[in-house]
Amino acid sequence: MTSILNCSEVDAGYTRGRPCVRDFNLDVREGEVLTLLGPNGAGKTTVLLTLAGFLPTLGGTVEIAGKAVRTGDGCAAANAGLALVPDDRSLFTSLTVEENLRLAVNSRKAWSAERDSILGHFPSLRERLKVQAGALSGGEQQMLAIGRALAQHPKVLLIDELSMGLAPAIVERLLPVLRTVADDTGTAVVFVEQHVQLALAVADTAIVLRHGSIALRGAAAELAENPRLVEEAYLGAHDAAAVPDGAPAQGLIA
């Protein structure tokens, strides 16, 4: 598969000269699903905001399909093919489901096909098209937020805290949709999640961030079979070296 998102030695944060994420390297391929894990304050949201152009990089480069994305420019990132679903979902709560989706569809002629495609992923929204987004359940709001992002046909879909405020049963329904989207469209998906085992079940690759540095990186299936490695990365029991995806999990912790 072709590399679609590449980060090289990216430093990220909110104050120049004081990065809270350091030397972040990433290579995501078309159709790949990557989960970004780690304790609160590890820098996961900072990474997504930087990739999406809402924060300027403090060092390093971000490339989409081999082309550098202008730092700190959300429009440039969106035009390059990045779409972010933030942790607050950022819906227009006074607009209906249909109106929220229409805002993301450029062509009126394409609306019917786009709507059907989104509802194919989230059929429970079909009966809610005329309902204001603010009246939806948390799960329905997350479906709408992801559907609106997919209507932009992104090359890379970024999702921050998909399970925020949602029951585990709802998360179990939503996460497999990310796998389906990646497989069916070739969209790369990078998502932050706190339900570790559920995330590993749908992802190809996982990265654990701790104190702004990559503590662990590897194939999601390998890490799912070795939960102690993930636990140690969260707790800092060992220093972990970032290694190429697919390396044996036993070799991920130094």
Q: Report domain extents, the chain.
A: 3-81+156-251, 91-153
d(CA 113, CA 242): 42
Instruction: Give the confidence band of 45 by pLDDT, cuts at 50, 70, 90.
Output: very high
d(CA 29, CA 27): 7
CATH 3.40.50.300 for the 3-81+156-251 domain, yes or no: yes
Residue 243 above 60 pLDDT? no
Look over the chain and give the mean of its residue pLDDT values, rounded to a whole number. 90
Identify any residues that bridge with 33 across adjacent strands, giving them in sequence order. Answer: 189
CA-nearest of 227, 218, 226, 222 to 195 is: 227
Instruction: Give the confidence band of 112 by pLDDT, cuts at 50, 70, 90.
Output: confident
Residue 252 above 80 pLDDT? no
C-alpha distance across the termini of the chain, in Å: 29
Amino acid at 199: A
Residue 246 above 60 pLDDT? no
Q: Are 51 and 12 in contact (CB under 8 A)?
A: no
Residue 111 above 90 pLDDT? no
- Mean pLDDT, residues 123-148 taken together: 96
Integer CA distances (angstroms), 5 to 15, 22, 85, in order: 25, 18, 17
The full DSSP string for the chain is: --EEEEEEEEEE-SSTT--SEEEEEEEEETT-EEEEE--TTSSHHHHHHHHTTSS--SEEEEEETTEEPPTT-HHHHHHHTEEEE-TT----TTSBHHHHHHTT-S-STTHHHHHHHHHHH-GGGGGGTTSBGGGS-HHHHHHHHHHHHHTT--SEEEES-TTTT--HHHHHHHHHHHHHHHHHH--EEEEE-S-HHHHHHH-SEEEEEETTEEEEEEEHHHHHH-HHHHHHHHHTSS-B----TT--GGGSB-
- Mean pLDDT, residues 135-146 taken together: 96
Residue percentage of the chain with pLDDT more than 70: 92
d(CA 230, CA 111): 43
What pLDDT sits at residue 108?
72
pTM (two decimals): 0.89
Q: Following CA atoms 144, 115, 110, 84 in sequence, which dihedral angle do they give, to the nearest 10 degrees? A: 20
Identify any residues that bridge with 132 across adjacent strands, giving them in sequence order. Answer: 96
